[in-house]
Amino acid sequence: MQVPFEIELPGLVAAGSELEGRVLFLEDAPGLEKVRAVKIVCDARVHGSGSEETIALGPLAIHGPFSAPAKVPFQFVIPRKGPTSYEGRYVKITWRVTVTLDIPWAIDPKQTVEFQVVPRPAKSSGVRQVS
């Protein structure tokens, strides 16, 4: 079953702050009324040369019914200690949001969007800067 939807996310989020996004149903596609819930998982995928691991936030489940046009907001708090996004030689950290539409008696449509987690700016001043 094809139910078109989009995930709207900011490209960059600081560690320790809120990630706010939305799931958009723009067209009134047949089948949208059958969507029982929108399930959202935010996770950091730690991959590369080592065994893969994930740090998951959520999942969130937002229950329907939905009708187009609809904007389903969601939010996650990114941990203060991160991890932050990184592309190393052996270790890579990729943050992503995966949205799954729960439709009874159908293959659940799924989409994943990546975003970056960066270190937050310090609140306290007076710390010596290093160039």
Partner 1 sequence: MARQASAAFQIAFGTPFVVLGGICLAGAIFGDGGALNVVGGSLLLLLGVGAAGAGVGQLMARGAFSQLTLEPLGRSFPLGGVARVRLVLEPKKPMDVNGASIVFKTIEKAVYSAGTDSRTYTDTLHEWTEAIALPSRLVGRIDHVIEIPIPRRLPPTFAGRHNSFISSCEVHVDLANWPDLDLNRELVIAAEYA
List contacts with partner 1 (CB under 8 A).
15-16, 46, 48-53, 55, 80-84, 86, 88-91, 93, 117, 119-122, 127-130
Task: Pick the closer one to partner 1 by CB: 32 or 94.
Answer: 94
User: Smallest distance from the beta carbon of 54 to partner 1, in angstroms?
Assistant: 10
User: Smallest distance from the beta carbon of 75 to partner 1, in angstroms?
Assistant: 19
Q: CA dist 24 to 17, 70, 88, 97, 121, Å?
A: 23, 6, 34, 14, 31
User: Smallest distance from the beta carbon of 86 to partner 1, in angstroms?
Assistant: 5
CB-side exposure of 73: number of CA atoms within 13 Å? 4
Pick the closest to residue 35 from 128, 130, 126, 105 (CA basis): 105
Task: Pick the closer one to partner 1 by CB: 22 or 92.
Answer: 92
User: Smallest distance from the beta carbon of 97 to partner 1, in angstroms?
Assistant: 19
Task: Pick the closer one to partner 1 by CB: 104 or 123.
Answer: 123
Pick the closest to residue 46 from 55, 33, 58 (CA basis): 55
**Contact criterion met (CB below 8 Å) for 39 and 74:** no
